[in-house]
Homo-oligomer: A and B are copies of this chain.
Amino acid sequence: MAQPTICPKFEKAISLLSQRWTALVVYQLLLGTQRFSEIQSAIGISGKVLSDRLKDLERQEIVKREVIPDTPVIIEYSLTEKGRSMEPILRTIENWSQDWFQSESEV
């Protein structure tokens, strides 16, 4: 399936962003470097899926994983330049959501 009517670069970007949790993980890391459990509790993702996503995002050079040899060892996740370059996407979605969605209390 998938006729090549649509630009392949755009399709790659869309398939990345339409993977559940990807956008939220990046959004969360825009706040700064964070540890596994911080991301997990901030966005409410399961450990398994967060682990999968972080590996994907690392492979795509969007997220950087750093092992800090503290005691016990600390593992920090942060955005690469490519990751930070996604900020306008998230901000545009954020603005749109404010303009067009109602909050629970208004429904």
A residues with a Cβ closer than 8 A to B are 1-3, 5-14, 17-24, 27, 41-46, 82, 85-86, 88-89, 92-94, 96-104
Q: Is the CB of A93 within 8 A of B21?
A: no
Given known contacts A82-B100, A92-B89, A93-B89, A24 and B6 CB-to-CB distance under 8 angstroms: yes
A46 contacts across to B, CB distance below 8 A = 1
Q: Within the assembled complex, what's the spacing in Å between the Cα atoms of A49 and B89?
A: 26
Per DSSP, chain A at the interface is: helix
Q: Within the assembled complex, what's the spacing in Å between the Cα atoms of A22 and B6?
A: 14
A18 contacts across to B, CB distance below 8 A = 17-23
A12 contacts across to B, CB distance below 8 A = 97, 101
Q: Is the CB of B92 within 8 A of A8?
A: no
A43 contacts across to B, CB distance below 8 A = 2-3, 5-6
Q: Within the assembled complex, what's the spacing in Å between the Cα atoms of A86 and B18?
A: 15
Closest chain B CB from A48 CB (angstroms): 12
